[in-house]
A = this chain, B = another copy of it.
Amino acid sequence: MNALGRHLLVELHECDKEALNDLGFLRKVMLDAAIECGAMVLGESFHRFSPQGVSGVVIIAESHLSIHTWPEYAYAAVDVFTCGTSVQPEKAAELLVEKLGSRNHSLLEIPRGVLVTV
């Protein structure tokens, strides 16, 4: 299939609740994940919510990674959206599963920008 991008939607359940509320830790893990999959980091934006939860996005030259956490449910929603053949988004997903201690996770890949040539 002729797609411009690969978009991984990663559902991370049964994570370490403390990790999901630690902005500094999540920022480092997300930047590490970007590097792990071979991406070039261009920018990032992270926010902690009250009373709990963190949202963060890392913009990469190959698209983006995002995370939204609900510590109260031990759950994080992660997206890894990449374009080009030099990156391996599943490596970022694997690192995040490991670092967040997820014991129940799923991954859905959606091709983005499927071009129909006639």
User: Measuring CB to CB, which residues of chain A are less than 8 angstroms from any residue of chain B?
Assistant: 4-5, 7, 9, 11, 42-45, 47, 49, 55-57, 59, 61, 63-64, 66, 68, 70, 73, 75, 77, 79, 81, 83, 108, 110, 112-115
So how many copies of this chain end up in the complex? Answer: 2
Q: For A70, list chain B residues within 8 Å (CB).
A: 4, 113
How far in angstroms is the closest Cβ of chain B from A39? 12
Contact between chains at A63 and B73 (CB < 8 Å): no
Chain A's interface: helix, strand, loop or mixed, by majority? strand
Beyond A68-B63, A73-B4, whether A9 also contacts B45 by CB under 8 A is no
Partner of A108, one of B42, B49, B110: B110
